[in-house]
Amino acid sequence: MLGPFDDVDLLSLGELDRVLQVTLLNLLRNDIDHLNLTLSEGPMAGWSFTRAPDHRSLLLSHTGRVLVAKAPGESVDLLTGTIDSTASFLAITNADFEAVRELLAARWLVQSEEAVGPLRGELLPGFIVRIGSVVIDLRWNIPFDLTEYPHRMTLLRDGWRIDRLFRYRPMIFYTAYGDAGSVDELAVSLQSLIGPGAYEADIAVLTDRSVDEIKALKPAAMRGTMVVINSEAVDLTAWRAARLAIIGWRDGWTFQPLLYVDTDVIFDRPVSPMLEALAKAERIAAPNAPSAVPAVASSYGADLVRDDAWDPEELQAFSTSVMGIPNLSRHGHVLELIGRIMRNRASLFGREVLPDAEQAVANYVSFRLVQIDGDLLTPYLKPVEDGLDEADRRGMVHFGALAPGSVRLAEMRDYLLRIGGGAVGAAGDTVPPDDVAAYSMTPVLDFEAVMQSLHR
C-alpha cells in the first residue's frame, strides 16, 4: 500500500499490535526472530505470525498458505510457494500510522540536508519513506519515538544513523494595541512581509482593535490565513506583555516555528532561510541588544538580576522586538514563566516599576534559566540607526529607535517603496474582509450561572 490513506481503516488486534513489533525486550531475550504465534480467537483466529527474513516485518499464514500482496498492491491473496517481499507485512499501531500519514502530508526539514527546503514524504515499496534524497526504512523505525511529535521526529537511516525531521508550518504574529499608530505600522510591515519578505504562510494579530479594522489590512497577495485574536490590554505594560498571550491560542501550538515581530519592523529579504533555521532550533531566539545600549540597562533586566543577587555585568542582553519560538509544545512554559513573573511583580511592586517590563523579565529568565539564543536572529535584523542602504539588506529593519508617530511611519513607508514593496493602502491592495479568521481570548463570564452553580 503506497497511500494516500484517506479511506484506510486499520484492523486493530489490541495489545497484539505492539507485541508484534520489535522492542528492547526482544533484544534482552535475544528472540527477535523466534516469533511463532497462532491466534485462537478474534477476527484473525487461525492465522499464524512469524518473523520475515528481514528481522522486522511479518509473514502471515493460514492453513499452510502465506498471505501476499498482489500487484499493484491493491489486493491480497493466500498462496503457496516462494516467499518474497510481497509476503512481508509491518505491524503498526494507530499512533504510528497517524505519524506515517503526517510524514506524507506535512512539509518537513531534514537535519542532514541543510541546503534543501521543506519537503513532503513519499511512500515507496518495501516500507520506504523518502524525503528528498533521504531514505527512511520504516522497518527499522517502528515503533516511532513520538516524544516530540508532531513537531519533530528522530529517525534512523540504514538502521542506525541518526537523523532528525522538523515539521515546517510557520506562523508570524504581531500585537497591535492602543492608538491607530500601531495599526498603521502593521499595514506597512504586512506589506513588506508579503512583498520583499516573500512570505506565503499564516499570520496572527493579537489586538484590541476591531476585527474589521485588522481584516482590512490583509494584502491581496497573501496566500496564507490571517487570524485576528482579540484580547484586552489596558496600558503599555499590557501591550508589551500581550505577545506572551499567544500561548492561550490553542491553534498556535500546531505551528513550527512561530516568529513574533513588532509592528515597526520592515522585511527586506525573503524570510524562508530565517524561518527554516528557527524550525530546527533548540532554543527560543531573539536578536542581541544594539551595541549602543549599556548591558546594565534596566530595560534589559539588569535591575532584576541585581535584585536577585547576581552580577548584571554577566547579562547577554537581547531585544524582544523580534522573537523566534521553535514551537510552543517545547517552549510555551518559558513564555508562561515570563508572564507569571510579570503579573506577580505587578501585584507586589506596581505595574510601572520597570520600563519595557516584558523585555526585562525575558532577559532575567534567560539569564537565570533558559539561555535564549542571541545569535540566530541577530544577522537577520538591522537597527534603523545602522542606516537604510538598500544594498545592505539583512532580512529585517527595526525602526524602534525612532520615536513613535508620523515621522517613524513615514520612514517605514519610504523604505518600503525604495525596496520595491509598493504603496500601502492603494485601491485593490486588500482582500475581502471575510477572508480572515477571528478568535477571542476575552473571557465571557455568565455570573448568574456561576452563582447558581455555587448554590448547588
Which residues have a Cβ under 8 Å from the Cβ of 48 and sit 6 or more positions away?
36, 37, 38, 39, 60, 61, 62
In terms of DSSP bridges, do strands 322-325 and 258-261 run parallel, antiparallel, or are they unpaired?
antiparallel
pLDDT reported for residue 432? 53
4-38 confidence digits (pLDDT tens) = 566 666 666 767 777 888 989 999 999 999 988 99
Amino acid at 227: V
Grid cell in block for residue 353 = 516599576
164-209 confidence digits (pLDDT tens) = 999 999 999 999 998 778 999 999 999 999 999 999 999 999 999 9
CA separation for the pair 280, 154 (Å, rounded): 12
pLDDT reported for residue 42? 81
HSE-up (13 A, CA, CB side) for residue 100: 27
- For residue 83, what are the CA distances in angstroms to 20, 61, 138, 147? 19, 11, 20, 36
Eight-state DSSP code of residue 142: P
Amino acid at 167: R
Q: Is 64 left (phi over 0), alpha (psi -120 to 50) or beta?
A: left
Eight-state DSSP code of residue 370: I
Is the distance from CB of 256 to CB of 168 less than 8 angstroms? yes
pLDDT reported for residue 427? 39
Which residues have a Cβ under 8 Å from the Cβ of 413 and sit 6 or more positions away?
188, 423, 424
Written as one string, the DSSP assignment of 47-58 is: -EEEE-TTSSSE
Is the distance from CB of 352 to CB of 360 less than 8 angstroms? no
CA separation for the pair 108, 101 (Å, rounded): 13
Amino acid at 27: L
pLDDT reported for residue 447? 47
Weakly modelled stretches of the chain, pLDDT under 70:
1-12, 14, 71-75, 80-82, 85, 292-296, 354-356, 423-435, 442-456
CA 134 to chain centre: 22
Grid cell in block for residue 207 = 489586538
Q: Length of the chain in residues, anyone? A: 456
**Stated pTM of the model:** 0.89
pLDDT reported for residue 330? 95
Q: What angle do CA 154, 157, 163 make, to 5 degrees?
A: 35
Which residues have a Cβ under 8 Å from the Cβ of 114 and sit 6 or more positions away?
none
Name the nearest CA neighbour of 257 among 366, 147, 205, 332: 332
Domain ranges for the chain, please list them.
22-87, 94-167, 171-440
pLDDT reported for residue 423? 67
pLDDT reported for residue 426? 46
Q: Is the peptide bond before 72 cis (omega within 30 degrees of 0)?
A: yes
pLDDT reported for residue 405? 92
Q: Under CATH, to which class is 171-440 assigned?
A: alpha beta
pLDDT reported for residue 435? 66
pLDDT reported for residue 9? 63
Name the nearest CA neighbour of 280 among 394, 398, 148: 148
